[in-house]
Amino acid sequence: MKKILVINGVNLNMLGIREPDKYGKKSYADLVKYIKSCAKDLGLKVTTWQSNHEGDIVTAIQKAYGTYDGIVINAGAYTHTSVAILDALKAVSIPTVEVHLTDIAAREEFRHLSYISMYAEKTICGKGFEGYKEALEYFA
């Protein structure tokens, strides 16, 4: 059974509260429940993890080395700023799918750049929770 680490970054813990017109009214707990349900249906073992701290995200990626077969990552705003997260992904060489709840290309110009997409095998944007299912299907 493939083991997938799902990393959610900065402010994802505020789902349902932060800009519900963009991100919806479902909570982070709802997202985790959805991810686990999808993984079970696809025959994947999944670990979900969230942090608002860039260094902790880097450490989680490093600790994934030799343990996980794939990473699904929504780094939130760190997507557009963190060379450190990009470098961590490159260092561990674990297949990675980048996910964003919204379409970052249709938002503010500063959100158009994704450092993570410079490494990720696939990027899924603007599909809400369904984007995580599509990412997991990629690994299944």
15 contacts 31 by C-beta, under 8 angstroms:
yes
- The encoded tokens of residue 121 equal 């095998």
User: Nearest CA to 74 among 2, 140, 7?
Assistant: 7
Domains and CATH numbers, the chain: 3-139 (3.40.50.9100)
Give the catalytic positions in this structure. Answer: 23, 100
- Residue 125: both structure tokens together: 């944007």
The answer to whether the pTM exceeds 0.85 is yes
Of 49, 55, 37, which Cα lies nearest the Cα of 7?
49
Q: Give tens-digit pLDDT for 18-66.
A: 888 888 899 999 999 999 999 999 999 999 999 999 999 999 999 999 9
Judged against a pLDDT cut of 80, whether residue 110 lies above it is answered with: no
CB distance 24 to 77 below 8 Å: no
Mean pLDDT, the chain, integer: 96
Q: Residue type for 42, please? A: L
Alpha-helix runs per DSSP H in the chain: 20-23, 28-42, 54-64, 83-92, 130-139
